[in-house]
Amino acid sequence: MTIDFDFDADPLMLNGWCIHPEDQLASRPTSIWELDPCKIGLHLDSSQQDGKSIKGSNLKERFDGQRVLPAHILDWLLEHTEKIPESWKKKEVFFWGTIYRDGEGSLFVRLLRWRDSQWSWSLRWLTFRWTTFHPAAVLGS
C-alpha cells in the first residue's frame, strides 16, 4: 500500500511553536512523494551505536544525505497505528524532517513512542543526548 504524502504540508503546531526554514535539514524530502508506510526505515548514526551517545544539536549536523521524515508522518502513523512495526515499541522514533522552536528559541524534535500500552508522541530538546534507542525515521527504498 502506498500513499501520496505532501512532505511540505504543515505538521502539528501548538501554541508558541514555530518552524524556521534555517533550522530544517536540507536532506528531508520535499513536495509530494509516494510512501509505503511499511518501508519507513530507521537510521542510527555511528555516534549512537555501541553504547555511545551524541548531543542532538551535533546529531542534527550528521544527517546530511539521510532522507529524514517530517513530523506529519508521525501524526499520520498515530491515526493508523496498525502500520507501526511491532519492533518500534522498544524505541523512541524521531522525525527529524521537522525541527521546531519553542517560544524561547530552543530547538526540539517530535518522537513516536509506545507508552502505557499505546502509541503517543512526545518531544526531545536538541540539548539532550541521543543513544541507540533514539533512531531517526527515514524514507526507505
State the residue range of the domain holding 108: 3-139
Give the global pTM: 0.87
pLDDT the model gives residue 137: 95
* Number of domains the chain is built from: 1
81: confidence class by pLDDT, cuts 50, 70, 90: very high
Angstrom distance (rounded) from CA 70 to CA 24 = 10
Per-residue pLDDT at 141 exceeds 60: no
pLDDT the model gives residue 7: 67
Beta strands in the chain (DSSP E): 3-6, 32-35, 40-43, 54-55, 92-101, 107-115, 118-125, 129-130, 136-139
